Amino acid sequence: MMKQPLNDKSFFIRVEKPDAKQLAKMNVFSWPIWTKESSTFPWSYQKQEIAYILEGEVTVTPINGGESVSFAAGDLVTFSAGLSCVWHIKKPLRKHYQFS
């Protein structure tokens, strides 16, 4: 599933449902883990981030226009470099992540 909710297509949030083979190929489970309690905060991406959601429920709203994107456990989410947004963590988050 590809979502490009932003008016400026150079910034995007892409949500996918990867299978075990894709996760293994990406070596996702060797990536660092980040956790965060339920909260709301602004965030800007200097580099692209790929995150695999282990636990939690999140909605991210782009600041520069576009639809909110929601994701949860089992989702692989890519945030483009240059994206500015507001994170709303509805259920405590635990994710693997990698910047590139």
Would residue 6 count as lying in a domain? no
For residue 77, tell me if it sits in a domain.
yes
Domain housing 77: 13-99
Residues whose CB is less than 8 angstroms from the CB of residue 1 and which lie 6 or more positions away in sequence, other chains included: 15, 16, 17
* Res 9: pLDDT: 57
Determine the average pLDDT of the residues in 80-96: 97
Kindly report the pTM of this predicted structure: 0.89
pLDDT in tens, 11-23: 899 999 999 999 9
Q: What is the pLDDT of residue 56?
A: 98
Q: What would the pLDDT profile of 9-66 be if each residue is shown by its tens digit?
A: 578 999 999 999 999 999 999 999 999 999 999 999 999 999 999 999 999 999 977 8
Q: How far apart are CA 27 and CA 9, in angstroms?
A: 28
User: Which CATH number goes with the domain that contains 79?
Assistant: 2.60.120.10
Cα–Cα distance, 34 to 11 (Å, whole number): 23
Closest to 19 (Cα-Cα) out of 32, 11, 28, 10? 28
Instruction: Answer yes or no: is 90 within a domain.
Output: yes
Q: In whole angstroms, how far apart are CA 37 and each of 17, 46, 65, 69?
A: 23, 23, 26, 19
